[in-house]
Structure 1
Amino acid sequence: MTYSHAELIANPGLLGAVRGLARRLRATYNDNPRIARLLSAHQKWLLTQAGMALNLEAGPRGFTVAQFRELVTLNGVASRNTVQNYLDQLEIYRYVEKVGAASVRPRRYRATAISEQTMLMWLIANLAALDALDDGSRAAEMMARPQLMALVQPRAARACLADKDWVEPPARVGAFLWTEAGALVMDEFISRIDDAHSQSDRIDIGFVDARALAADFMMSRTHLQRLLNKAAEQGSMGWHDDSLRSGMWFSRDFLDEYRTWQAIKFKYVNDAFLWAKEQADDAAFADVSETS
């Protein structure tokens, strides 16, 4: 089923879908914290998606640093130096590897198996969130046909990279997402929302232990507390009373702002999945016709 951005926003199940995705991604972090952090800040998310798109498009031959730089600088995602530093970091952790002999220029890179598997699971998680809107079977189809990722991910990633509204989140959302591990913090808060359909202006998310959460996400407690204080000043969230030991609330308008932004990505992932299925089915039909 296709959706426009407006249709996604109007869908009463969108809040539940966003919450379900947050819970899946939160669980993914628990399983493999280091690789999950590649999607834990918005710039890293953009770089990771861009790099994987080039990787899947290039195949075994690999992609070049120049190709990577062109894609991300064209869309204002990062500087040229940031791209090289990011690739160096990925290589250290063995999430990418160089292709061919060291003497060959230009140097080419390809993602390792764990990186591709993690991206597949990310896609499945997003497709499962879309399934929650219409009782669909996208996630099951992707699991049954993982080869579709080679078509789905590059198309969705390039669409997101080309959309300024996705690249530049709303200011209050960006206050979290542009920081290291900020997306993990947002996933934690969103995953706590049980009354997603409540009309209350303030939605309870329980007690937030900043010290424990910062340790869990390998970030500075001072930095996390600063994020929470800034969010409270902006009215995005806050404490039920003057004590930091009290429970916290998440504002309805901030949640609506976040889900509206997430709907941009959901639209592109859904569009890419439907397009990829059509391309794969057409190719399969052509192969059968040629052998008949």
Structure 2
Amino acid sequence: MLTRHAATSGHDTLLPEIRLHAEATIDYFQRNRRFMRFVDTRQKWLLVHLIAVTCENAGEGPVDGAAANWICGRASDLGIASRNTALAFFNQLAAYGYLERKNHLGDRRIKLISLAQATERALADWTRMLVEIVAGRDAGALDHEALMAIYLGAAKTLLEDARWVGAPLDVALTQDMRGGWLVMAEILRHLAQRATGEPWIPAPGLSIPAMTASFGLSRSTLYRLVRVSVEAGIMAWETRRSVSTLMLNVYHVRQYSRWIDKQLDAVSVAHERVIGERSSALTTTVTRPCTTGAIAPGREINARTLI
């Protein structure tokens, strides 16, 4: 996917796929604005993935959900967030209806949490977006059950990848600031497509006031994110004839592309596995006399082709 272009001298070969991801990300935000008010950083996304995967594993037995304290401890072990940070985030999600809390039937001191239906819908929509990117076609035929199966498979794979959880410093810097992933997506949409061989890529037409109105972020938040990125060498300002243009470092584009590519690869593998399992369930073996135009004895046919 994206990584096959990561060693090229220019950035133009990276842009078609990474720009598609950026545009789809912004469309997803517009469809799920309320949910994204709370899950607006990489750290919070990782915590949501951890809740989903842990609850799925716990769901194999009689327990409905997973212990909040256990998930907080797991988040701390993985280096995602401290126990207090994770618990505060869980309480916020529960207060707005994105997590369900229940008492453990065997021990009322244990609080169980699980994803609410609203959260599952948002995650299924996120998965549909990624499937359409990797498959290159509409994923409308996939039902909610299939999308959640793909999501859980991809989330498990990503959480087991220490290099994805612990993203490169420059990627983590932009993705762990409030609204950073949206700003990054908007910048990628505006990057000049022609590679010049320069270490910096201009993003002409990018407007911070426009992002303020579109994403519901304050100007101070956006300028702070840009300022910190400039100090870290990820972004820079170029001023010509009193017009300032934001520039993005080519190295960061490649780093970000590799990080996104791992996400897309995990979804692609999970998608193929789920579709393969469903196809196997629909496959039947038909045996009939072999005549002209007939199906050969023992040949397998997919039931989808008979509809």
Q: TM-score, normalised by structure 2?
A: 0.76
Q: 1:15 is matched with which residue?
A: 15
Deviations 1:88-110 (A, max 9, x none): 10011111122469994522222
Counterpart for residue 90 of structure 1: 93
Q: Who wins on radius of gyration, i.e. which is larger?
A: 2
Distance 1:10 1:145 in 2: 38
Residues 1:198 and 2:201 are matched in the alignment: no
Q: Residue in 2 aligned with 1:187?
A: 185
How far does residue 39 in structure 1 lie from its aligned partner after superposition? 4.1
Provide closer, same or farther for how the CA distance between residues 238 and 53 of structure 1 changes in structure 2, counting only shifts above 3 A: same
2:31 equivalent in structure 1: 31
Alpha-carbon distance in 2 for matches of 1:83, 1:6: 32
**Alignment deviations for residues 65-90 of structure 1 (CA, whole Å, 9 cap, x no partner):** 13422432331111222222111100
- Shift in CA distance, 95/243, structure 1 to aligned 2, threshold 3 Å: farther
Distance (Å, rounded) in 2 between the aligned partners of 1:235 and 1:283? 52
1:147 and 1:228, CA in 2 relative to 1: closer, same or farther beyond 3 A?
A: same
Separation in structure 2 between the aligned mates of residue 54 and residue 279 of structure 1, nearest angstrom = 23
Aligned to 1:119: 123
Aligned alpha-carbon RMSD (Å)? 3.2
1:193-272 aligned at under 5 Å gives the runs 193=191, 195=193, 198-201=195-198, 202-214=200-212, 216-241=214-239, 245-272=243-270
Distance in 2 of aligned mates of 1:17 and 1:6: 11
Report the count of equivalent residues.
276
Tell me, in whole angstroms, the C-alpha distance in 2 between the residues paired with 1:77 and 1:277: 31
Summarize deviations over 1:231-286 as a string: whole Å, max 9, x none: 33444332331688523232322211210121121121212222233344455669
Q: Distance in 1 between matches of 2:227 and 2:64?
A: 48
Counterpart in the other structure of 1:65: 68
CA 1:37–1:193 in 2, change beyond 3 Å: closer, same or farther? farther
Q: Please identify, of 261-270 and 218-227, the stretch whose mean Cα deviation from structure 2 is larger.
A: 218-227
Percent of aligned pairs with the same amino acid: 23
Q: Which has the higher contact order (CA 8 A, sep 6+)?
A: 1
Give the 3 Å change call, closer, same or farther, for CA 244–156 of structure 1 in structure 2.
Answer: farther
SS of the residue corresponding to residue 195 of structure 2 reads coil
Task: Tell me how far apart the structure 2 counterparts of residues 236 and 200 of structure 1 sit (CA, whole Å).
Answer: 17
Q: 1:106 aligns with which of 104, 110, 115?
A: 110
User: Secondary structure, in 3 states, of the residue corresponding to 1:98?
Assistant: strand
Cα distance in structure 2, aligned partners of 1:8 and 1:50 = 31
What amino acid sits opposite 2:195 in the alignment? S
Give the aligned residue type for 1:114: A
* Equivalent position of 1:276 in the other structure: 274
Q: Contact (CA 8 Å) 2:170, 2:234: kept in 1 or not? A: yes
Give the counterpart of 2:144 among 146, 160, 164: 146
State how far apart, in whole Å, the 1-side matches of 2:50 and 2:116 are. 15
* Residues 124 and 143 in structure 1, CA contact (< 8 A), matched pair in contact too: no
User: Does structure 1 residue 51 correspond to structure 2 residue 55?
Assistant: no
Equivalent AA in structure 1 for residue 185 of structure 2: D
Match of 2:160 in 1: 162
1:17–1:130: 8 Å Cα contact kept in structure 2? no
Q: Are the counterparts in 2 of residues 38 and 48 from structure 1 also a CA contact under 8 Å?
A: no
Q: What TM-score do you get using the length of structure 1 for normalisation?
A: 0.79
**Structure with the higher fraction of residues in helix conformation:** 1
Three-state SS of the structure 2 residue aligned to 1:206 is: coil
The runs of 5 or more residues in structure 1 that have no matched partner are 287-292
Structure 1 pair 156–260 and aligned structure 2 pair: CA distance change class (3 A) = same
Pick closer, same or farther for the CA change 1:95–1:241 going to 2, 3 Å: same
- Change over 3 Å in CA distance of 1:180–1:51 after alignment to 2: same
Deviates more, 1:118-127 or 1:102-111: 102-111
